Structure 1
């Protein structure tokens, strides 16, 4: 019985010793390293480029004094709407010597030349309209044949393309007629000023009319007085022609394509939609606020015509986000979880409380998110901002 008690006592002390050693080993083991974590998710992903831009009008019309004279007071102000043919301002003959014989003869010849250009422009317009009528009839004939499967779709599209090009040429010819008509009126107005004295009674005036319907964008002259020929008075434009110029870094501009969607914000209203119309073929150098020379490329963006732009006008600041690529079900991770390992991208995955290095294959990267093509599974936990203390196999815990 005494031997049995000794054996039990020895076993008890032995177990206590083993427990103390285990407790000591547990107490001396390294504590898990606190780390920031994130989860591999699947969701919408957008690859875009955002840059500040300025609105502008695609086309503006500077209305100037066609002749030297005496300008009556201009009552129109910036923002006033004018209709095509409306009187913008009036000119009286200036108190200067009358036209001499030589100058008058030159003016008559200029009028004849302008009238000849008008006749030529009208002839070009008739030719363009005849070609357009023929192209329209050809297109209708080919469409009927296409409906009966007698001609190919390519032939029909070729006829449609030819009709559209001739329609554009017809519009251009019509504009040429308008320009020539204004030149004739200008030349005729020059001949109308025959006296160099201002007379209070029956004073002839020259009425300069609006070439289009639109808004007064700028007023360069308001007060009456003598004015030289060609001096600008008003600038007209149409807000329907509003567009955006964005100067992008050349490395971002090469990723764009005409027709690409653009999200317009930062203008004081709800975000608007637009599309890339033109990417300039040449860039320029601009010095940044940090004194760094940057190569910039102008990119022109058109607004969606169906959206309400509110009070947005020319010269307004906007933020343009160019949507290069979009996906709905994209596996993605925070960019802060990535680091380079032996020339490849890698992340640390938490597996049973330990950091495990994993090589990943990346797709697109945008800002704080990166697309993952291979190497991870949705729902896995990653370590973000891994420091020098994080290594393969180290015990870690998520920092609350």
Structure 2
């Protein structure tokens, strides 16, 4: 056999051996990868909230009465001192035959009292006139030393007493006249005799410059004392109310930065935490889980022009920035797993997965800060399965 044939047979055998080796080798495991990034990173807490007026004003009826039609509507601007609505006294109820007869009797009694008071006034006036004449006569005789000083003083006292009695009788006539007018009023209203008179009304005024946000009553009709009619406030003082889980609220502090997003406008809004309430409350989630929640209030700091169409009770999503930094190395949280007592990741190096321990820092949603163990630009495997191991060939699907 010539050397050429031997060389050809050797090449064929090597080729077959190589093909057999490649056929028996396991194929690379397809994996999803993500690049290690370095840049801005923030630890945040996110939740849904509502806008609220910091100092809303509810205008209520001060007394029982009859509300006139409210013409102001939500969205109308008002100035302090501007009339909001008017109230009238409660209309007199209709009189049944028995009540009408009792009212007539009350008018008759009041009229008799008025006549008696007038007669008493006339008698007291006559007594006062007589006492005045007797006093003047006694004063004249005293000047001629025909009457003693004691007699003159007694006449003066009688005159003063009768004058006081005459004044009291005159006031009694006025009281009797008012009683008669009050007794006649139910009958006059029932008979329609006072329908043309102007009825005095109470006008409620705006306490501040602001805008009407809600109207609880519009149509006229009876109203009870304390019943709400209008709500108003100043939209420039709008703030955001968010109920956070208590384990997240304990990390929030007044003055922290808040980002408001998905509120309906184009750009995100800036806000600052104003107050974290010290008392929590229990709330049942949509899944039926009992949660302890805490109210957190934030004031919008973005220019008013950026959120001029935002109103009271609007939905927003708030992102509370607990910590933020630049040039921070971070990766998807899904790439991390526990290897014994340390955190680890699989790094893709030359087509193979390499196990590497890392030191983690802060977490924020789907991203985690890496303090050591990785360099920016490296590729890590996200959601590594059971087939992925140290040194295993992998194929990135990204």
Q: TM-score range by the shorter chain?
A: 0.5 to 0.7
Aligned residue number for residue 250 of structure 2: 254
Aligned residue number for residue 216 of structure 2: 220
d(CA) in 1 for partners of 2:262, 2:14: 69
The 10-residue stretch of structure 1 (198-207 or 273-282) with the greater mean CA deviation from structure 2: 198-207
Contact kept in structure 1, 2:282 and 2:292, CA below 8 Å: yes
Aligned residue number for residue 148 of structure 1: none
Does 1:382 find its partner at 2:380? yes
SS in 2 for 1:25: helix
SS in 2 for 1:73: coil
Give the aligned length.
Answer: 300
d(CA) in 2 for partners of 1:17, 1:91: 110
The alpha carbon displacement at 1:286 in A equals 1.4
The alpha carbon displacement at 1:209 in A equals 1.6
Does 1:237 find its partner at 2:223? no
Aligned residue number for residue 70 of structure 1: 66
Contact kept in structure 2, 1:82 and 1:213, CA below 8 Å: yes
Does 1:40 find its partner at 2:36? yes
SS in 1 for 2:304: coil
d(CA) in 2 for partners of 1:298, 1:228: 33
d(CA) in 2 for partners of 1:381, 1:225: 74
d(CA) in 2 for partners of 1:14, 1:91: 113
SS in 1 for 2:390: coil
Contact kept in structure 2, 1:346 and 1:360, CA below 8 Å: yes
1:399–1:57 distance in 2 versus 1, CA, 3 Å: closer
d(CA) in 2 for partners of 1:34, 1:217: 58
1:219–1:9 distance in 2 versus 1, CA, 3 Å: closer
Aligned residue number for residue 319 of structure 2: 321
1:32–1:224 distance in 2 versus 1, CA, 3 Å: closer
Aligned residue number for residue 333 of structure 1: 331
Alignment of 1:104-183 (within 5 A): none
Deviations 1:343-377 (A, max 9, x none): 22111112233221101011122222221100111
The alpha carbon displacement at 1:267 in A equals 1.9
1:358–1:207 distance in 2 versus 1, CA, 3 Å: same
d(CA) in 2 for partners of 1:6, 1:207: 124
Does 1:267 find its partner at 2:263? yes
Deviations 1:250-297 (A, max 9, x none): 222122111111111222112211111111112222111112222211
SS in 2 for 1:360: strand
SS in 1 for 2:288: coil
d(CA) in 1 for partners of 2:9, 2:221: 118
Deviations 1:280-324 (A, max 9, x none): 112222111112222211111111162321221111111111122
d(CA) in 2 for partners of 1:228, 1:303: 37
d(CA) in 2 for partners of 1:397, 1:225: 78
d(CA) in 2 for partners of 1:236, 1:16: 93
1:350–1:234 distance in 2 versus 1, CA, 3 Å: closer
Q: 1:364 aligns with which of 362, 383, 391?
A: 362
Contact kept in structure 1, 2:270 and 2:302, CA below 8 Å: no
Aligned residue number for residue 286 of structure 1: 283
Contact kept in structure 2, 1:84 and 1:210, CA below 8 Å: yes
Contact kept in structure 1, 2:52 and 2:240, CA below 8 Å: yes
Contact kept in structure 1, 2:269 and 2:302, CA below 8 Å: no
The alpha carbon displacement at 1:331 in A equals 1.0
The 10-residue stretch of structure 1 (88-97 or 295-304) with the greater mean CA deviation from structure 2: 88-97
SS in 1 for 2:248: helix
Alignment of 1:177-192 (within 5 A): none
Contact kept in structure 2, 1:272 and 1:307, CA below 8 Å: no
The alpha carbon displacement at 1:21 in A equals 4.0
- CA RMSD of the aligned region, Å? 2.7
Does 1:298 find its partner at 2:271? no
The alpha carbon displacement at 1:20 in A equals 4.7
Q: Give the gaps of 5 or more residues in structure 2.
A: 94-180
Deviations 1:56-90 (A, max 9, x none): 11122222222333333222222222111112222
Aligned residue number for residue 87 of structure 1: 83
Deviations 1:162-181 (A, max 9, x none): xxxxxxxxxxxxxxxxxxxx
